[in-house]
Amino acid sequence: MTSAVLDRRLAALGRPFPLIATGGGTGGHTYPALTAIRTTSARLARLGIGLDVLWVGTATGLEARVTEREGIPFRTVATGKIRRSSNPLKLASPANIKDMGRVPLGAAQARAIISAFRPDVVLSTGGYVAVPVGLAAKFCRRPLVIHEQTVRLGLANRALARAATRVAVSSESTLPLLPDAVRGSAVVTGNPVRPEILTGKLNKAISALGLTGFDHALPTVYVTGGAQGSVQINTVVRALLPWLLTEANVIHQCGAASIEEARHYAAQLPGDIRPRYLVTDFVGPELPDVVALADIVISRSGAGTIAELTALGKPSVLIPLATSAGNEQEHNALHLQEAGATVALLGEAVTPEGLRAAVAPLISSPGERRHMAEQARSLGRPDAADRLAEVLLDVATS
In this predicted structure, the answer to whether residue 318 has a pLDDT above a threshold of 50 is: yes
Is the separation of the CB atoms in 343 and 375 below 8 Å? Answer: no
190 backbone φψ class: left, alpha, beta (φ>0; ψ -120 to 50): left
Work out the pLDDT band at 327, boundaries 50, 70, 90.
confident
Instruction: Express each pLDDT in 148-175 by its tens digit.
Output: 999 889 889 999 999 999 999 999 999 9
| CATH H-level, domain 3-192+383-397: superfamily | Glycogen Phosphorylase B; (3.40.50.2000)
Element (H, E) at 89: helix 88-91
User: What are the two backbone dihedrals, phi and then psi, of residue 88, each rounded to the nearest 5 degrees?
Assistant: -55, -30
Closest CA to 377 of 317, 329, 331, 310: 310
Work out the pLDDT band at 100, boundaries 50, 70, 90.
low
In angstroms, the CA 151 to CA 329 distance is 9
71 backbone φψ class: left, alpha, beta (φ>0; ψ -120 to 50): left
DSSP letter (8 states) at residue 319: -
Is the separation of the CB atoms in 332 and 151 below 8 Å? Answer: yes
In this predicted structure, the answer to whether residue 297 has a pLDDT above a threshold of 80 is: yes
Is the separation of the CB atoms in 292 and 263 below 8 Å? Answer: no
In this predicted structure, the answer to whether residue 90 has a pLDDT above a threshold of 60 is: no
Work out the pLDDT band at 83, boundaries 50, 70, 90.
very low
User: What does the pLDDT average to over 248-272?
Assistant: 96
Please state, for a pLDDT cut of 70, what percent of the chain lies above it.
94
Exposure on the CB side of residue 394, measured as CA atoms within 13 A? 17
In angstroms, the CA 95 to CA 106 distance is 17
CATH class of 196-379: alpha beta
> Which string of b and e fits 229-245 if b means at least 16 CB within 10 Å?
bbeebbebbbebbeebb
Instruction: Express each pLDDT in 14-54 by its tens digit.
Output: 899 999 999 998 889 999 999 999 999 999 999 999 999 99
In angstroms, the CA 162 to CA 181 distance is 7
Task: Give this prediction's pTM.
Answer: 0.89
Instruction: Express each pLDDT in 301-310 by its tens digit.
Output: 999 999 999 9
In angstroms, the CA 194 to CA 205 distance is 18
What is the pLDDT at residue 147?
A: 98
Q: Which long-range contacts (CB under 8 A, 24 or more apart) does 353-358 make?
A: 354/236, 355/236, 355/237, 355/240, 355/298, 355/317, 355/319, 356/240, 356/243, 356/244, 358/317
Instruction: Express each pLDDT in 129-138 by its tens digit.
Output: 999 999 999 9
In angstroms, the CA 398 to CA 344 distance is 42
Range(s) within the chain of domains with CATH label 3.40.50.2000: 3-192+383-397, 196-379
Map residue 54 onto helix, strand or coil.
Answer: strand
Q: Kindly state the greatest CA–CA separation across the chain.
A: 68
In this predicted structure, the answer to whether residue 80 has a pLDDT above a threshold of 90 is: no
User: What does the pLDDT average to over 211-226?
Assistant: 96
The stretches of 268-383 forming alpha helices (DSSP H) are 287-293, 303-312, 328-338, 352-364, 366-379
Provide the residue type at 164 as one letter: A
In angstroms, the CA 179 to CA 386 distance is 26
Is the separation of the CB atoms in 77 and 56 below 8 Å? Answer: yes
What is the pLDDT at residue 292?
A: 97
What is the pLDDT at residue 1?
A: 62
What is the pLDDT at residue 85?
A: 45
In this predicted structure, the answer to whether residue 89 has a pLDDT above a threshold of 60 is: no
